[in-house]
Structure 1
Amino acid sequence: MVPAFGLFVLLLPPLIVGAGDFDLHRGIGSTDHWLHASNDSATRSGLIISRFLPDGEFERVSTWPGFCAKETSIDWGDIDVTLREVWIKNEGRKLQLIYEGGILSDCFDVEADQDADDDRECSGSSRPEIEDEDEDEEEKGDEAVFQVTEKNIADWFVSAEDLRRQCFRVKTRTRNQVMARHGQSIRVRRGMFQALMMAPGTKWCGPTQLASRYNELGAFDQLDRCCRRHDHCHRAIPPMTQRYDYYNSMPFTLSHCGCDQSFRTCLKMAGTSSANFVGKLFFNVVQTKCFVLKPQKACQRRSWWGKCEAYEYRKQAHLRDNVPY
């Protein structure tokens, strides 16, 4: 699941993004190698675009020859949650990192989809134009565009070796936790935060149920209702479990596509920044797959020499891609 590509961390205080040549197994290249990867360009420069989304989320997009990074952040009371996505263009890959209060919680390495709306801003070769090249900042409403050059961006790069170790460590810890729950016959809850943290202000959006009764909701009651309904979907395959003739080897519960679609609709109707952020993490990062059930002909009874004497139709799970949020 983890292909080779490069990563360097671009420090954009107070946020962090990354780019470069990073291999999760082999290690990383040098900053000098990355900075001189595109010397064919006479004058190399990049852009940093900061914007506040209508629902209150903060988004920052950073472009540089050979890479693009996007951060989406939300203030959840006592904790800031950030989704950092790094596109490595020459590899066609995207690294997704989830931070809680500045601490890496999970990471995913996926193939970039140039046709997806979420990837289009970074997957294309075009970039926003700056009308006045003499100005460092151009503001258009709630969006600010900064132009940066190699001279003032070079000092922002540091080695991502620690980030690579953290990524391996958090993936190992997450899988071990899921395996421990499964081994102890503890129900592994479905939902986006089952491998991460409890969403602040909720009692249902997390690895454990904080509500003592069904009608108990947290401060973000609209989001909590969506998570509660999705959590009670009966058509689901827990991790490391076989059901509907399908073995779920992933460290999270697979849900029926109908349940995920209802969850997506519920989050969209809520329309809050917390609901939209959960939707992006769930559908665009963590749980990009769901399943549908199709009848499959199977042998019900065989003779002593192995010939099937009776058939029956059983429901069999088939994986599908979830609709991006």
Structure 2
Amino acid sequence: MRSVRLLTALAALAATRAAAGPSFVVERRTDDGTRETRVHHGDLTAVDSWAQESLLLRQVSDGRRLLQAVLRDGRLSQCEMLRDAESLERFFDDFSADFECARGANGTTGCLGVRIFRDVEDLDERQQELLQWRRLARACRRLQRGEDGGGGGGRRRRRDLFLYPGTNWCGSGSSARKLNELGAHSRADRCCREHDHCPFTIEAFQRKFHLFNYRLHTLSHCECDE
């Protein structure tokens, strides 16, 4: 109980500090080739992550909740609303360097690409879209109710958003000797062969997308299997 209270307090503190800071936008490309757009304005903090335009991970927080959504070809495919302190703390911790840069705490060192702005109108259309919290939240609720034809897909919990089929072509490397060598679950094996091109993966014992992969194998987003 004490640890839960501590995490809640830390998450609330991080959100309060974020809301008190100046508005900023960041466009960058990570070492693994993933592109990111980060925006903070008022109570909202958001990030888009993608390696290809057709599949995008969007995360938006109002300081009390964290909305995670997967968009395929611009359409909402999966989403979840997180309220636990640990998820919020990880999310804002990942933004800590950007907040420091925006406040000028780091001077110009390591702050390339951080741009301060005053009004939402100073952002381009794509950047403004990240701040449409209510619109995304409504779309998520509709998806979870199945109103958009998503069925029960929107009800997947975070542990299901990233999956690992245990086949010849999944995990760290491959046990297959030839390209066409498939195991008993041939359909899953074919999906696993495509994982090398998946834009959202987490290597063993690495942190990405505010999640830590404590397993010995690589985790891949389930959208890469569809």
Provide the TM-score with structure 2 as the length reference.
0.51
Higher strand share: 1
- Cα displacement (A) at 1:108: 1.0
SS of the aligned residue for 2:101 comes to coil
Higher helix share: 2
CA 1:94–1:214 in structure 2 vs 1: closer, same or farther (change >3 Å)? closer
CA 1:126–1:147 in structure 2 vs 1: closer, same or farther (change >3 Å)? closer
Give, in whole Å, the separation in 1 of the partners of 2:88 and 2:132.
Answer: 31
- Cα displacement (A) at 1:46: 0.9
The answer on 1:96 being equivalent to 2:68 is yes
Point out which structure has higher relative CO (alpha carbons under 8 A, 6+ apart): 2
**Considering only aligned residues, what root-mean-square deviation do their CA atoms show, in Å?**
5.0
Contact kept, 8 Å, 1:69 with 1:122, in 2: the verdict is no
**Residue 69 (structure 1) aligned to one of 23, 38, 46:** 46
- Cα displacement (A) at 1:178: 9.6
Give the letter for the 1:101 counterpart. Answer: D
The answer on 1:145 being equivalent to 2:104 is no
Identity score, percent:
18
Q: State the partner residue of 1:218.
A: 193
Contact kept, 8 Å, 1:51 with 1:144, in 2: the verdict is yes
- Cα displacement (A) at 1:177: 6.5
The answer on 1:54 being equivalent to 2:34 is no
Contact kept, 8 Å, 1:47 with 1:62, in 2: the verdict is yes
Give the letter for the 1:169 counterpart. Answer: R
Contact kept, 8 Å, 1:99 with 1:105, in 2: the verdict is yes
Q: State the partner residue of 1:172.
A: 145
SS of the aligned residue for 1:265 comes to coil
Could you list the runs of 5+ residues in structure 1 that have no partner in the other structure? Answer: 1-37, 132-137, 180-189, 195-202, 205-210, 227-259, 268-274, 282-325
CA 1:165–1:129 in structure 2 vs 1: closer, same or farther (change >3 Å)? closer
Contact kept, 8 Å, 1:114 with 1:124, in 2: the verdict is no
Provide the TM-score with structure 1 as the length reference.
0.37
Give, in whole Å, the separation in 2 of the partners of 1:66 and 1:128.
Answer: 18
Q: State the partner residue of 2:57.
A: 83
The answer on 1:278 being equivalent to 2:221 is yes
Contact kept, 8 Å, 1:84 with 1:96, in 2: the verdict is yes
Give, in whole Å, the separation in 2 of the partners of 1:87 and 1:178.
Answer: 18
The answer on 1:113 being equivalent to 2:90 is no
Could you list the runs of 5+ residues in structure 2 that have no partner in the other structure? Answer: 1-18, 164-168, 171-184, 202-212
Contact kept, 8 Å, 2:24 with 2:41, in 1: the verdict is yes
